[in-house]
Amino acid sequence: MQAAFPGVSIHYLSPTEGGFSHYSAVVMVGAQRCVLKSATLAAKRADLRHEAAILQALAGRGLPVPPLVALLDTGEATVELLEALPGTSGITVYSRSPAELRAALAALANLLAATHSITSELDAPESGLAARAAQALAQLPALPLDDTVRNELAASLQHPVWQAAPGGLVHGDAGLHNLLWHSPYAALLDWEWASRGTPLFDLAWVWWTLRWRKMPPALWAALLARYRALRPGLPAADSAALRALALGQIASILGRAVHEQTAYAEWQRRAQWTLGLEFPAL
């Protein structure tokens, strides 16, 4: 960073809240408060480059996202520098008042509806959900998994919902964990897995995150109702389709986390837990 900003004072301030996928921290670059994200593994470096391209493409579209300040590549690491926006991680909202939790989820519904409405071509690299499922399926045989889990994940990745005609932009990892919350202001963070595809993908993952956090079903119903009011053309889906999308997401995460022992063990546990869930229909 110092080489990229010669003569500019750079100060580390603190680690970010959340930041599970990459090393991330709040830094001052001169007088500008920024969030730094860095990665050394090839796949995660590619994620940061992808996010930078997505954020550049979204600039000026009216969607609240962190502005890209710089993308720095060396032989050892990729560093993404974003303008720091006001607010705290949406994860903290889970422990706040029911009213604030409902407000944050309503904001999430608004942001997802706006994201999914972006249908014009983006000047950014994207593989699409079908390619993402194919990549995760190709990785499965090499992953250390119980055969039952492996077979369930493989069947989910081969469900026809992954081949649905691409709609608008999907975030790829939607949930309060990637919401920046500063009531009533909200923004979506972490666009590393964004692509074109069915909006059902983001909604299935939001439902899964709420179940994982043991949130009351009424919160999901309220979020879905608000989303439908903004985008009434949401395609119908049975419970098997939503289950396939959520399990496919977990398969993709397992493939990325295989070299991180603690994270991989945790997502194995979550995969096993997910097999016992009853998913809703839309």
153-169 tens-digit pLDDT = 999 999 999 998 777 89
Output the pLDDT for position 277. Answer: 97
Domains of the chain: 10-83 (3.30.200.20), 88-275 (3.90.1200.10)
Reported as a single tens digit per residue, the pLDDT across 34-78 is 999 999 989 899 999 999 999 999 999 999 999 999 999 998 999
Euclidean distance between CA atoms 157 and 135, whole angstroms: 10
Counting every residue written for the chain, the total comes to 282
Give residue for tokens 């990785």. Answer: 139
Q: Which two tokens stand for residue 75?
A: 């032989």
Distance between CA atoms of residues 71 and 24, nearest Å? 14
Give the confidence band of 19 by pLDDT, cuts at 50, 70, 90.
low
Average the pLDDT over 21-27 and give the result. Answer: 86
The listed range with the strongest mean pLDDT (1-15, 18-32, 34-48, 144-158) is 144-158
Distances (CA, A) of 237 to 150, 245, 282: 24, 11, 5
Q: Judge whether residue 127 has pLDDT over 70.
A: no
Q: Which amino acid is at 238?
A: D
Scan for tokens 């079908």, then name that residue: 130
User: Residue for token digits 């974003």?
Assistant: 82
